[in-house]
Amino acid sequence: MFEYLVPRQPDAIIALMQQCKADTNPDKIDLGVGVYKDDAGGTTILRAVKAAEQQLWNTETTKSYVGIRGNDDFRHSMLDLILGGDAGKISTDLMDRIASAQAAGGSGALRLGAELIKSAAPDATVWVSTPTWANHIPLISSAGLKMGKYPYYNRETLGVDFEDMVAHLSAKAKAGDVVLVHGCCHNPSGADLSPAQWDQLADFFVEKDLLPYVDLAYFGLGRGMSEDSYGLRKLVEICPEVMIAASCSKNFALYKERVGLIAVVCQDTDTAVIARSQLGSIQRKIISMPPDHGAKLVADILGDQKLRAMWVDELTEMRERMRDLRKQLSEALNVQGGETIAAAVKDQNGMFSTLPLSVDQARKLRSDFSIYMTDSGRINIAGANNRNIPRLAEAILSVL
């Protein structure tokens, strides 16, 4: 049977990782894959996670299944975290309107959500930004949904084309369609909507009867927890229905544990009861019980004052390190010809920025300088450090 299969190209980012790994230049700079790196280039386990793991090791008595929608404490504490704003808690009324399920990472959450859309509205089109995370279209379209693209990042101004985005959706999307938006730290551009634009977008979605699907993969790594959830909270306040795919891969550094959450804010509690049963049934058909370990750690961290404070400190440290690197790179690029990039790199949020480089320029940085970024010019700022930023800026300016 398998002799008829045709080989598939590995994902471009995986090929880039392999190429960087094989480069023996001790001064190579890896700005490729979307994993946070500390100053020494490591992706270490957070202290809060280690402490929660230690506690779990001492107290866990069974590895029996937890439940089809995962750990209740995880789901509820995550919803309080991402929707609760400064209060850190949502109302019982809102909680009752939400159907949620633990998922295998943000990717698993996106896919569960796509399957739910397919069950509820098989003819809906899911609109994604141009550009967007490379896996959005494969993940969502493989649930059998139609996909559309809306303009978002302007590679000349290095900002968001908000008016074009709204005009395009207004002209092309039909009532009942789904619009995937990045809650913060847009991947790959780092260019986020302003609070005023989120306000406008929420009204637009209601007016056009469009359903927002918020991908929240970098919560806490942009400007701060409250700032990073502003758009999501605004949508939940204004729109009758909202979908959320949240990941704990980056902000808890739990990448390989695969921790994510799909949450669907419904119009009323009766609909939420039905949506919960649907999410459970979809999960059952795909993976049955979700993995528990990472989600239990998140629940334990968020539910314990000491561990939570430790995690908030570590999250702040990661965020501030990236803000500082952005500032340093911006200063180094702020010379004739580099001003637009310098301003954008400083203002953008999270791990990524997309530099206005051609494929040839990105490849030249790889071949001549051992600086690794995707062909599209996306850099992971956390891959830089204060020792290599002067060389990085010089190399970028030299290929421009």
Ligand X SMILES: Cc1ncc(COP(=O)(O)O)c(C=O)c1O
Q: Which residues are catalytic?
A: 133, 215, 217, 250
DSSP string, 160-184: E-HHHHHHHHHHHPPTT-EEEEESS
Per-residue interface string for the shown chain with ligand X, residues 116-135, x marking contact by CB under 6 A:
-----------------x--
Nearer to ligand X, 295 or 342 (CB): 295
Per-residue interface string for the shown chain with ligand X, residues 328-367, x marking contact by CB under 6 A:
----------------------------------------
Q: How far is the CB of 249 from ligand X (least distance, A)?
A: 4
Per-residue interface string for the shown chain with ligand X, residues 165-194, x marking contact by CB under 6 A:
-----------------x----x-------
| Among residues 189, 247, 353, 380, the one that binds ligand X under rule CB under 6 A | 247
Q: List the one residue out of 398, 56, 51 whose CA is nearest residue 252.
A: 51
**Which two structure tokens, joined as six digits, stand for 211?**
């359903």
The H or E element spanning position 378 is: strand 378-380
Using a 10 angstrom Cβ sphere, with 0-12 exposed, 13-18 middle and 19 or more buried, the burial of residue 379 is buried
Q: How far is the CB of 221 from ligand X (least distance, A)?
A: 11
Residue 242 bridge partners (DSSP): 265
Query: Within 10 Å of residue 214's Cβ, how many Cβ atoms?
Result: 24
Range in contact with ligand X (rule: CB under 6 A) among 103-111, 261-269, 299-307, 360-368 = 103-111
Site for ligand X in 258-277 (CB under 6 A): 260
Is residue 106 near ligand X by the rule CB under 6 A? yes
Nearer to ligand X, 13 or 397 (CB): 13
* Residue closest to ligand X when measured from CB atoms: 105
Nearer to ligand X, 260 or 383 (CB): 260
3-state secondary structure 242-275: EEEEEECCCCCCCHHHCCEEEEEECCCHHHHHHH
Range in contact with ligand X (rule: CB under 6 A) among 4-12, 93-101, 102-110, 169-177 = 102-110
Rounded Cα distance, 118 and 260, in Å = 20
**Which two structure tokens, joined as six digits, stand for 310?**
């430790």
Contacts of 298 by beta carbon, 8 Å cutoff, 6+ apart: 74, 77, 78, 248, 252, 254, 259
Nearer to ligand X, 256 or 387 (CB): 256
Look up residue 322 and give its DSSP letter: H
Strand-strand pairing, 153-154 and 159-160 = antiparallel
Instruction: Determine the size of the site formed for ligand X (CB under 6 A).
Output: 12
- Planar angle of CA 303, 56, 229, nearest 5 degrees: 35
Is residue 374 near ligand X by the rule CB under 6 A? no
Task: Give yes or no for a contact between 378 and 354, defined as CB atoms under 8 angstroms apart.
Answer: yes
Range in contact with ligand X (rule: CB under 6 A) among 76-84, 99-107, 118-126, 148-156 = 99-107
Residue 30 bridge partners (DSSP): 372
Q: How far is the CB of 274 from ligand X (least distance, A)?
A: 26
Nearer to ligand X, 105 or 231 (CB): 105
| Among residues 102, 107, 251, 349, the one that binds ligand X under rule CB under 6 A | 107
| Among residues 30, 161, 177, 215, the one that binds ligand X under rule CB under 6 A | 215
Per-residue interface string for the shown chain with ligand X, residues 21-60, x marking contact by CB under 6 A:
-------------x--------------------------
Contacts of 389 by beta carbon, 8 Å cutoff, 6+ apart: 325, 328, 329, 332
Rounded Cα distance, 158 and 364, in Å = 21
Nearer to ligand X, 140 or 332 (CB): 140
| Among residues 70, 105, 131, 220, the one that binds ligand X under rule CB under 6 A | 105
Task: Give yes or no for a contact between 282 and 119, defined as CB atoms under 8 angstroms apart.
Answer: yes
Nearer to ligand X, 231 or 260 (CB): 260
Is residue 84 near ligand X by the rule CB under 6 A? no
> Can you give the binding site for ligand X, defined by CB under 6 A?
34, 105-107, 133, 182, 187, 215, 217, 247, 249, 260
